[in-house]
C-alpha cells in the first residue's frame, strides 16, 4: 500500500556526499481564489536547498559567468514562489547558508528571515525587482507573500527505492517522496497586491519533495485531486493520482523511460511502480510540445490493472521553470511547468473499466536536457 505517511523521508537529506554536491526541496502547489472577484488562480511555493557545505554569509550563484569559468558550485537556500496563468511568473529569493536554520530531525523545518516551512505550516515573502539585470537569479519580477496551514491527507510512498538503506547509500541521482499528494491548505496569499483566499475544500493541493545530486531527463510529472467521474457524474472527494519520473539513474546506470504512479481512487490503491518488480509494471509514455500546448499520454499496466492518462496544458498558462544542478550546470532550459492542466484518466482492473475521470487543476511538468 503506497498511502503510507513517513516523515523520515520528508526530513532534510543533505548529509554525506549530498551536503557537498546535492539539493533537497519541498514543493507545494494549490489553487486560491481572489478575495474580491472570486477568480481561481493556481500558485506554487518551494523551499530549495543546495550544497550547504559550500555556503557562507551570501548565496553563491552557479550561473554567474565568473563562477561558471572557475567551476564554482552554487550554494544557497532558494525560496521559489509564483503563479501560473495569464500572468505566470516565478520569483526566487536567495539566502546564504549562514542565515539559514534547518532541522534534520522529524518533522523537518527550514527558516530564513521571514520565510519558514515545516510539515504543518509555511509562511514567507518574496519581492523581486530588476531581475532582468540578474540572469543568475533565473526568475522574473513580482511580489508574493503567504501564510498557510498544511494538512497532508494522502501520501505516495514509493517503497524501498527511497527507503532508509537507499537514502543512506545515496544510490539514486534523484529521489522522490510525496508525503501529501493530496493536501489541504488553508490561509491566504497576496500576489502583486491582490489577496487570495485558500480553503481546504477548493485548493486541490499537492506537496512532495525531491532530493539528490542531479535531475532527470526527460522530466515528467502529473497530479490532480480535482476529479469527476464520467460514469456517475459525481465529484470524487477521496481520490488523487500522481505520476512522476523519466529516466532514473542508480549510480551510473540509467533506467530508460520509467515512471512511478499511484492512483488513490475513493479509498482504494492502484499502483504502477517499476521498482516493485513482482507487479510486472510496464509503462509507455509520450510527451510532446505543439505551438500552443504541452501534451502527455501515459499508459501503464500491471498483472491486473491498467491506467491510461491523457493531459493537456496551454503553454500560455505555463512557465519555463528554472533550476541549476548542484554541479552548477543548467541543462533544463525548456522545463514546462503548469497548474492548469486538463484531461482524463481511465482505470481498468482485469480488463474491465472501473472509472473514467475528468481531471482539472492538474499539476504538470515536462522537459528534456539541452544537448551539451
Query: SS in 3 state form for the chain?
Result: CCCCCCCCCCCCCCCCHHHHCCEEEEEEEEEEEECCCCCEEEEEEEEEEECHHHCCCCCECCCCHHHHHHCCCCEEEEEEEEECCCCCEEEEEEECHHHCEEECCCCCEEEECCEEEECCEEEEEEEECCHHHCHHHCCCCEEEEEEEEEEEEEEECCCHHHCHHHHHHCCECEEEEEEEEEEEEEEEEEECCEEEEECCCCCCEEEEEEEECCCCCCEEEEEECEEEECCCCCECCCCEEEEEEECCEECCEECCCEEEEEEEECCEEEEEECCCHHHCCEEEEEEEECCCEEEEEEEEECCCEEEEEEEEEEHHHCEECCCCCCCCCCCCCCCEEEEEEEEEEEEEECCEEEEEEEEEEEEEEEECCCCC
pLDDT of res. 249: 62
Per-residue pLDDT of the chain (372 residues; tens, 9 = 90+): 899 999 999 999 999 989 999 999 999 999 999 999 999 999 999 999 999 998 899 999 999 999 999 999 999 999 999 999 988 999 999 999 999 999 999 999 999 999 999 999 999 999 999 999 999 999 999 999 999 999 999 999 998 666 675 677 676 688 999 999 999 999 999 999 999 999 999 999 999 999 999 999 999 999 999 999 999 999 999 999 999 998 766 666 666 778 999 999 999 999 999 888 888 999 999 999 999 999 999 999 999 999 999 999 999 999 999 999 999 999 999 999 999 999 999 999 999 999 999 999 999 999 999 876
Hunting for cell 523520515 — which residue is that? 8
Beta bridge partners, 93, equal 79
| Residue 8 covered by a domain | no
| Residue 37 covered by a domain | yes
pLDDT of res. 36: 96
pLDDT of res. 165: 58
| Residue 246 covered by a domain | yes
pLDDT of res. 98: 97
Instruction: Compute CA distances 201 → 33, 40, 78, 120, 123, whole Å.
Output: 12, 13, 30, 17, 20
pLDDT of res. 160: 63
Count up the domains in the chain and report the number. Answer: 1
pLDDT of res. 257: 74
Beta bridge partners, 358, equal 228, 344
Query: Domain residues for 289?
Result: 17-367
| Residue 222 covered by a domain | yes
| Residue 176 covered by a domain | yes
| Residue 372 covered by a domain | no
| Residue 11 covered by a domain | no
pTM: 0.96
Q: For the chain, first and last CA: distance in Å?
A: 40
| Residue 3 covered by a domain | no
Amino acid at each position: 500500500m503506497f498511502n503510507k505517511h513517513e516523515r523520515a523521508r520528508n526530513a532534510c537529506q543533505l548529509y554525506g556526499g549530498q551536503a557537498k554536491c546535492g539539493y533537497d526541496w519541498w514543493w507545494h502547489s494549490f489553487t486560491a481564489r481572489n478575495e474580491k472577484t472570486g477568480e481561481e488562480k493556481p500558485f506554487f511555493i518551494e523551499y530549495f536547498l543546495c550544497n550547504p557545505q559550500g555556503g557562507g554569509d551570501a548565496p553563491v550563484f552557479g550561473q554567474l559567468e565568473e563562477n561558471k569559468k572557475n567551476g564554482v558550485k552554487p550554494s544557497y537556500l532558494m525560496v521559489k514562489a509564483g503563479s501560473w496563468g495569464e500572468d505566470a511568473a516565478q520569483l526566487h529569493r536567495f539566502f546564504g547558508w549562514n542565515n539559514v536554520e534547518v532541522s534534520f530531525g522529524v518533522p523537518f523545518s527550514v527558516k530564513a528571515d521571514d520565510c519558514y516551512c515545516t510539515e504543518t505550516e509555511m509562511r514567507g515573502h518574496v519581492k523581486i525587482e530588476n531581475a532582468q539585470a540578474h540572469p543568475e537569479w533565473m526568475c522574473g519580477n513580482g511580489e508574493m507573500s503567504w501564510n498557510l496551514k498544511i494538512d497532508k491527507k494522502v501520501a505516495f510512498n514509493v517503497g524501498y527505492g527511497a527507503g532508509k538503506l537507499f537514502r543512506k547509500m545515496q544510490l539514486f541521482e534523484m529521489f522522490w517522496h510525496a508525503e501529501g499528494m493530496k493536501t489541504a491548505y488553508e490561509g491566504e496569499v497576496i500576489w502583486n497586491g491582490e489577496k487570495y483566499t485558500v480553503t481546504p475544500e477548493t485548493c486541490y493541493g499537492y506537496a512532495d519533495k525531491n532530493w539528490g545530486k542531479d535531475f532527470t531527463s526527460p522530466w515528467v510529472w502529473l497530479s490532480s485531486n480535482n476529479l469527476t467521474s464520467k460514469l456517475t457524474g459525481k465529484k470524487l472527494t477521496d481520490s488523487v493520482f500522481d505520476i512522476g519520473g523519466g529516466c532514473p539513474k542508480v549510480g551510473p546506470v540509467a533506467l530508460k523511460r520509467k515512471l512511478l504512479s499511484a492512483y488513490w481512487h475513493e479509498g482504494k490503491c492502484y499502483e504502477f511502480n517499476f521498482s516493485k518488480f513482482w507487479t510486472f509494471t510496464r509503462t509507455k509514455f509520450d510527451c510532446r510540445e505543439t505551438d500552443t500546448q504541452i501534451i502527455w499520454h501515459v499508459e501503464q499496466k500491471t498483472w491486473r490493472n491498467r491506467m491510461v492518462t491523457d493531459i493537456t496544458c496551454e503553454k500560455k498558462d505555463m512557465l519555463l521553470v528554472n533550476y541549476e544542478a548542484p554541479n552548477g550546470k543548467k541543462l533544463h532550459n525548456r522545463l514546462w511547468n503548469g497548474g492548469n492542466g486538463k484531461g482524463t484518466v481511465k482505470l481498468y482492473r482485469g480488463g474491465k473499466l472501473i472509472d473514467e475521470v475528468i481531471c482539472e487543476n492538474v499539476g504538470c511538468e515536462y522537459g528534456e536536457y539541452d544537448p551539451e
